[in-house]
């Protein structure tokens, strides 16, 4: 019968089970974590797993007198069980639950199919400074809140502020230690990210939905086909319009948000998760990605009615760069369609070879039928060059330049400063190149007039050498004195022939000694080296000791050879003790498993017969 605990601290409503174990260690008189492991699990080798702990049935027997909560409820409310299994089959959920209750295998749960993911868990425990302060005041101690440790939850849903990293590793080097939340390991502003308001708003929305996964009554769909059809993302063939979906999805979530949630999308990548999750599911997807796609489908507007419309007709399309020689001429062959994040409407992006890029929502009605510029994305080098030309003549005011280039005065002032900076930078670069070439000439003169070594040449003009070393090291090395790269052939510091003869005798004696040991040990190069104190030498330089190498290759044992020798030893021991040579007894005493090689099986059979 498993002995019960003398006490257990109160378990808080939203506390991670790991945190409860850690607080028990703090409140107990135990000096070592091994004592705590024995108290909680009756074994010192139990892993301190934060998300999906195992062997909980044994623990529950110990604490059942102190709590009213059932074991299943303990797992569902205080571990990541629902978070990771919410979008999986019922069979899978039952399997994980049973493993968490009874499994004693280290890491067994994380190795089963469906639990692995390319999304990384948090590297440290996280906390909300305001929650931490509240707990310390009302409860007298902080604790690890389960919601704050979930992957993808980056803001506190109560105080709507960024979560911060503690200095407690989520998967520490010592995997058998529970570390409680304390004021000294949860330092305010130690590791804090500052999100812009728009990012925080989206991350808060995602965090609330991820936290809902921990609720027992939370229901989530994993087949998105009907929602995709309802929103107008299906083609007439019934297949998903992936390009339209990608454009809308990227307009809905910024690249920064997807980066923070480890869920970037790439339309040209066939293995992209967004493509896979909208098709027939052949694998499991991380909860973060289910929440991302479901939130997008819930909040995006219906695409039917305008997704296939092309307001600009067929190309080619005109370039509207007033600084170019092809202004208004149809030189743009293709228009790219994207979705406006503000209006959810389709807009066109026109890119010209001159570098001028502009957005347009509609075509101006009239003789020219030109697109109306909504926003200029990039003016390009031709436009900037014209601006620089107009500025340098000093004949035009900002207002005149704005009229000539088709922009407002503020834009001219802004880009005038940028162009001036580019001109200054270019002038600096030209001056620097002139100086570099000048120093190179000085070095070549030194090289020509002196047959010195590189060290002596360097001493003749230290400043030139250092300038070239910092600004064009490759050129300098290519122009070293001819004898600078020549190296004297190093004399061997070790007489390997003599060393080979010396170690040959030592290894021969050590092998004989190892073969005489009882019970037998396997003769390996590592064991020979360790016993002689030359393991590194044998592993790295054995090829330089040909005689010793040949002896080791002849006398070291494979696993099967050692198993046969061990079986023979056990057989002799049984005979000497006048015991029967039973197959099972030989296997057990020899420490053999079932999947043995044919030669070992044959040796056992011959000994018995």
Task: Give the 3-state secondary structure of residue 57.
Answer: helix
- At which residue do the structure tokens 């209750």 appear? 101
Share of the chain above pLDDT 90, in %: 24
Whether the pLDDT of residue 229 is over 60: the answer is yes
The pLDDT, as a whole number, for residue 424 is: 47
Is residue 419 very low, low, confident or very high in pLDDT (cuts 50, 70, 90)?
A: low
Give 417 or 311, the one with higher predicted confidence: 417
Closest-CA residue to 181 (of 245, 234, 134, 118): 134
pLDDT value, residue 305: 46
Q: Measured on CA atoms in the order 77, 81, 84, 87, is the torsion positive or negative?
A: negative
Give per-residue pLDDT as tens, 74-109. Answer: 999 999 999 998 888 888 888 899 989 987 665 556
**DSSP tally for the chain: helices H, then strands E:** 28, 8
Structure tokens at 499: 């060393």
Q: pTM to 2 decimals?
A: 0.54
In this prediction, residue 425 carries a pLDDT of 44
Q: Please state, in angstroms and as integers, the Cα–Cα distance from residue 154 to each residue in 127, 184, 198, 361, 474, following that order.
A: 10, 21, 14, 36, 47
Q: What is the mean pLDDT of residues 256-271?
A: 89
70-79, 108-117, 329-338, 389-398: which is most confident: 70-79
For 561, residues 6+ apart whose C-beta sits below 8 A from its C-beta are: none
Highest mean predicted confidence (pLDDT) among 122-131, 305-314, 360-369, 440-449:
122-131
Task: Kindly report, residue by residue over 146-164, the tens digit of the pLDDT.
Answer: 999 999 999 999 999 999 9
Residue 420 has pLDDT above 80, yes or no: no
Q: Give the best-scoring range by mean pLDDT among 11-25, 215-229, 549-563, 569-583.
A: 11-25
3-state secondary structure of 495: coil
- Evaluate if residue 485 carries a pLDDT over 70: no
**Residues 37 and 195: beta-carbon distance below 8 Å:** no
Question: Mean pLDDT over residues 404-417, rounded?
Answer: 87
Residue 194 has a pLDDT of: 75
Instruction: Judge residue 42's burial from the number of C-beta atoms within 10 Å of its C-beta, 0-12 exposed, 13-18 middle, 19 or more buried.
Output: middle
Summary mean pLDDT of the chain? 83
- Sheet strands (E) in 128-178: 164-169
pLDDT, residue 111, reads: 53
Contacts of residue 381, Cβ cutoff 8 Å, sequence gap at least 6: 354, 355
Closest CA to 406 of 501, 319, 524: 319
Mean pLDDT of 328-349: 76
Q: What is the pLDDT of residues 538-585, one digit of tens each?
A: 888 888 888 888 888 888 888 888 888 888 888 888 888 878 778 777
When mean pLDDT is compared across 299-303, 385-389, 426-430, 481-485, the lowest value belongs to 426-430
- DSSP β-bridge partners for residue 42: none
Q: How far is CA 52 from the centre of its chain?
A: 20
Q: Are 150 and 209 in contact (CB under 8 A)?
A: no
Residue given tokens 């929440």 in the structure block: 291
CA dihedral over 322, 328, 331, 335, signed as positive or negative: positive
Q: Are 152 and 291 in contact (CB under 8 A)?
A: yes
């Amino acid at each position: 019968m498993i002995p019960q605990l003398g006490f257990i601290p109160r378990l808080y409503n939203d506390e991670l089970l790991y945190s409860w174990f850690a607080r028990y260690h703090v409140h107990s008189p135990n000096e070592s974590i091994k004592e705590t492991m024995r108290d909680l699990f009756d074994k010192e080798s139990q892993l301190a797993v934060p998300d999906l702990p195992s062997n909980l049935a044994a623990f529950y027997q110990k604490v059942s007198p102190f709590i009213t909560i059932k074991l299943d409820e303990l797992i569902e409310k205080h571990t990541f069980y629902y978070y990771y299994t919410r979008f999986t089959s019922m069979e899978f959920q039952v399997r994980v639950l049973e493993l968490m209750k009874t499994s004693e295998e280290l890491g067994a749960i994380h190795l089963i199919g469906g639990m692995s993911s390319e999304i990384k868990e948090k590297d440290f425990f996280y906390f909300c400074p305001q929650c931490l302060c509240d707990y310390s005041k009302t409860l007298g101690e902080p604790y690890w809140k389960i919601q704050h440790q979930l992957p993808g939850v980056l803001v506190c849903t109560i105080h709507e502020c960024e979560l911060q990293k503690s200095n407690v590793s989520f998967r520490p080097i010592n995997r058998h230690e529970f570390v409680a939340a304390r004021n000294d390991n949860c330092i305010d502003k130690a590791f804090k990210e500052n999100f812009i308001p728009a990012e925080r708003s989206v991350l808060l929305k995602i965090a609330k939905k991820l936290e809902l996964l921990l609720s027992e009554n939370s229901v989530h769909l994993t087949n998105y086909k009907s929602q995709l059809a309802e929103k107008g993302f299906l083609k007439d063939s019934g297949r998903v319009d992936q390009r339209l979906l990608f454009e809308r999805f990227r307009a809905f979530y910024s690249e920064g948000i997807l980066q923070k949630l480890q869920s970037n999308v790439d339309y040209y990548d066939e293995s992209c998760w967004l493509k896979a999750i909208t098709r027939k599911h052949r694998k499991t997807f991380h909860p973060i990605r289910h929440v991302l796609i479901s939130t997008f489908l819930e909040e995006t507007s219906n695409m039917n009615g305008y997704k296939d419309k092309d307001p600009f007709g067929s190309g080619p399309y005109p370039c509207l760069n007033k600084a170019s020689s092809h202004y208004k001429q149809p030189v743009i062959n293709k228009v790219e369609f994207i979705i406006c994040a503000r209006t959810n409407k389709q807009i066109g992006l026109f890119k010209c070879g001159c570098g001028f890029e502009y957005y347009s929502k509609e075509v101006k009605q009239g003789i020219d039928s030109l697109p109306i510029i909504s926003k200029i994305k990039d003016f390009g080098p031709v436009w900037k060059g014209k601006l620089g030309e107009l500025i340098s003549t000093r004949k035009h005011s900002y207002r005149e330049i704005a009229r000539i280039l088709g922009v407002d005065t503020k834009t001219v002032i802004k880009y005038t400063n940028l162009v001036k900076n580019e001109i200054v930078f270019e002038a600096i670069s030209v001056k620097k190149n002139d100086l570099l070439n000048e120093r190179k000439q000085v070095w070549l003169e030194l090289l020509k007039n002196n047959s010195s070594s590189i060290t002596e040449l360097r001493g003749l003009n230290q400043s030139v050498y250092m300038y070239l070393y910092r600004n064009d090291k490759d050129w300098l090395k290519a122009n070293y004195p001819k004898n600078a790269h020549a190296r004297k052939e190093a004399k061997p510091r070790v007489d390997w022939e003599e060393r080979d003869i010396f170690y040959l005798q030592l290894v021969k004696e050590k092998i004989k000694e190892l073969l005489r040991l009882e019970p037998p040990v396997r003769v390996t190069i590592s064991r020979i080296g360790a016993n002689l104190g030359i393991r590194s030498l044998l592993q790295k330089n054995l090829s330089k000791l040909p005689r010793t190498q040949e002896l080791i290759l002849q006398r070291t044992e494979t696993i099967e050879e050692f198993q046969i020798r061990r079986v023979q030893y056990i057989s002799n021991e049984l005979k000497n003790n006048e015991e029967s040579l039973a197959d099972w007894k030989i296997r057990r005493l020899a420490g053999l498993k079932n999947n043995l090689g044919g030669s070992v099986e044959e040796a056992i059979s011959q000994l018995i017969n």
